[in-house]
Amino acid sequence: MASAYCYGMISPSNVYVLREDFAYPKANTYAEVARIYRSVGGEAANSAVILAKLGLRTKLDGNWVHHERADQVMGLLGEFGIDLSGVTVTREGGTDEIIIADGSTRTVFGNYASFHAGPRQWNEPQRRDVQHSDIVCLDPYFRDQSRLGAEICVELGKPYVTLDCPHDGTIAQHAAAVVISHELRDQTYAGRDCLEVFTEYQEHCEGLVMFTFGSDAVWYGRRGGSRRTYQPYSIDPVDTTGAGDSFRAGIAYGLLQGWKDEQTIEFASAVAACVCLTVPHALGAPGLDGVHQFMERHRQAGPLRG
Please give the single-letter amino acid code of residue 44.
A
Residue-level pLDDT at 279: 82
Indicate the SS3 state at residue 289: helix
As beta bridge partners, residue 228 has 220
- Alpha helices by DSSP H, listed for 105-242, are 112-117, 127-131, 143-156, 170-173, 182-188, 194-204
Residue 303 located in a structural domain:
no
Helices 43-53, 243-257: axis angle to 10 degrees equals: 50
Indicate the SS3 state at residue 165: coil
| CATH number for 142 | 3.40.1190.20
* Closest among 37, 96, 110 to 283, alpha carbons compared: 37
Residue 22 located in a structural domain:
yes
Residue-level pLDDT at 1: 79
* Closest among 90, 84, 82, 23 to 57, alpha carbons compared: 82
Residue-level pLDDT at 274: 96
Residue 287 located in a structural domain:
yes
Ranges of residues in the chain with a pLDDT under 70 are: 300-306
Residue 306 located in a structural domain:
no
Residue-level pLDDT at 305: 38
**φ, ψ of residue 79 in degrees (nearest 5):** -60, -25
- Owning domain of residue 77: 3-298
Residue-level pLDDT at 306: 35
Direct distance between the N- and C-terminal alpha carbons of the chain, in angstroms, rounded to an integer: 33
Distance CA 136, CA 7 (A): 8
Residue-level pLDDT at 240: 84
Residue 289 located in a structural domain:
yes
Distance CA 143, CA 2 (A): 28
Residue 304 located in a structural domain:
no
Residue 196 located in a structural domain:
yes
Residue 305 located in a structural domain:
no
Domain count, the chain: 1
